[in-house]
Chains A and B, each alone.
Chain A
Amino acid sequence: MNCRTAYSWVLANPTSETPPAGVSRHLDRCAACERRRQRLLGLDRAAKSFAASVDHSAARMRLLELVATTPQEQPPLKLKPASPVAFGWRRLALAAAACLVIGLALGYFLSRRPDLPAPVAHDRTPSNEPGKRTPESDRLSRGETIRRIVLRDTRLAETEAADQQARVLVDMAEDLQDAVIGSVKDGATDGVPVVTVLHEQVVRGGMVRAVSRIPESRRAATLPSLATRLQQSAARLTKAAETELPAVADLLRGMGTTCADVAAALQQPKLPEPSPLASDVNRPGAPLLATLVYGGLRLADDPDPLRRADTCTDVADALVQSIVLASAAGDAERSDELGKSLGEFLDKGLSVNLGRVPSDLPASRQAEFDRVKQRAAKATGALERNLERAPAPAKAGLERALEASRHGRERAAEAGKGKGKGKGKKPDHAGPKDGRGGPPKGPPGLEKRKPPINDEP
């Protein structure tokens, strides 16, 4: 062992690490190398002691304030990175040969498999009218998933009946299952873990909470069909897991277990305990899909029209953000789709709840009402404000979204006037509707509510 070798080892390894025998023997014999090692020891200690006495608490607070108002970018569920490949004849021949081999293998494989069961059919058309699922619904694109979830949110915003809410939440769970199965089949698994978390919240949380609010007299008519649908979902997910890699299969089976567990629990005399709603995911900052799902869960949980309107503005804000991003990316088609979803949601969700706010609102809630109105006005005007500042490539998408959402925005703007003198229903001060089994709630304005993020210290 010479000095160069020993020194090379000492340079490359932490001084705290015990040298190998050869290096150790050399260091014992060579004073110069041992001295160099000691220098490095001192250097490492000094460098580790770098510290700054600056107080960063103010900077951290500013950061968290920014985080509270900054949306996360949601990764696409369908991820097919385009890799520019020089497409030569040799590659074409190889690709053709690969397709032939795969096709032959697939044909052999399919010929040996038992017949797969037919797709399950149940009420899942956008208007919630009875209908059948098409084979294409196993290939839901991310845009389609968002559109469906917004439709569920719209229904949850419109209805106050717990049995209808429970059905819509099962619809939402099935939308998430379709998204996961479709993504997995397309080989895009990046967003799957996020969606499984959302699915859990919907089924074990929101749906179970909604079921607990169904009056006893109506449960017999509702619970069996919900249980059946969940059982069918469990079977579908378990089947989908059979052909996937272990990590993905585990996620699918987990979703299936969730459905099976809740289906079984719904058939018991005692209803299951719902999972709590996750905290701090209800503000701009969460991915769009999560904001929409959690917005729907909050709409289902809350009977108060003013708070429901506030939740609706959260959802609308998230949709507006996504429209702006899609427009900036030049995706006018997506802007248009999202604009339609936004318009319908503003029309049937936000404006309906603003309309239900009583005209004799207690003074203690007036500030809240003004804030919600301001937020609603900001949400409905955001697209126009963005259009004014948008560069030319982004204008097309924004204009399409504006047009697609016009009716809804106008309705929402009108509904904010006069404190809901339209079709609004008076709140039931005698108690919650549908015999809600949760904690007793007092008159509006006095119920305990988790404070919004801005009120937190």
Chain B
Amino acid sequence: MDSREELALVQRAQVGDRQAFAGLVDVYWPRVYRWLWGLVSSPQEAEDLTQESFLRAWVTLPSLTNPGSFRPWLFRIARNAVIDGRRRQRPPATTTGIEAAPTPHAGPVADVVDREGQALLRQACDRLPEMYRAAFLLWTHEGVPYAEIAEVLGLTEETARWRVCKARHLLAKELADYLDPKDP
């Protein structure tokens, strides 16, 4: 969906068009879920938070003053849902069921991305401090620019950039043996 189509859906949903909102759910559910799953490490909790985020988005959508900034606004709602959800203090479930999707541009290092690699990366991500993880996943999964990450997480752009860099550095260091087994 291009940005014009999305803008039209957002504007229609703002006046109560439920079908338009369902279209936005179709586009953004997997993306929000994936990010939340990276933050809470429990698929069930991520699903609950995703649902909660979209419901909140529906309720407050008329107050979105700039329909063009729907994406960061939605992710900010999701982030707030995580913060609120912390109070429920669900024990984190083990992460299972991860499937490695085929990578489109395989290279020498990318050849080793497999199930084990996914699990290792997942575990390493889970060990990242959440503030780095949140920024990193937005940058990696969504390709969100730093300014938008800053908007979602309530930071300055420079801080958002620093957190992404820090996350990448820590993960690359932690997974060095796996990513580059021939490195002495």
Chain A contacts to B: CB under 8 angstroms: 8, 11-12, 14, 35-36, 38-54, 56, 59-60, 62-64, 66-68, 70-75, 190-191, 193-194, 197-198, 278-281, 283, 285-287, 290-291, 294, 453
Contact = CB atoms under 8 A, between A and B. Distances in A.
Contact of B15 (A39, A68, A197): A197
Q: How large is the interface on B (under 10, 10 to 19, 20 to 34, 35 or more residues)?
A: 35 or more
Contacts of A190: 63, 65
Contacts of B99: 51-53
Interface string B92-114: 00000111111101011110110
B166 to A, nearest CB: 8
Contact of A285 (B16, B38, B112): B16
B19 A43 contact: no
B39 to A, nearest CB: 12
A74 B58 CA distance: 11
B169 to A, nearest CB: 6
A6 to B, nearest CB: 13
Given A38-B109, A48-B141, A73-B63, A291 B16 contact: yes
Interface string B155-171: 00000010011001101
Contacts of A41: 107, 109-110
A174 B48 CA distance: 44
Contacts, number: 173
B55 A70 contact: yes
B17 interface: yes
B34 A43 contact: no
A64 B97 contact: no
Q: Which of A35, A44, A49, A291 has the most CB of B within 10 A?
A: A49
A67 B55 contact: yes
Given A52-B98, A56-B29, A59-B51, A287 B17 contact: no
A132 to B, nearest CB: 32
A74 B62 contact: yes
B82 interface: no
B18 A64 contact: yes
29 contacts: A36-B172, A39-B172, A39-B176, A40-B168, A41-B107, A42-B112, A46-B118, A47-B125, A47-B141, A48-B103, A48-B140, A49-B102, A50-B121, A51-B100, A56-B30, A56-B50, A59-B47, A63-B25, A64-B22, A67-B55, A68-B18, A70-B59, A72-B58, A72-B59, A190-B63, A194-B62, A281-B16, A285-B16, A287-B15
B65 A45 contact: no
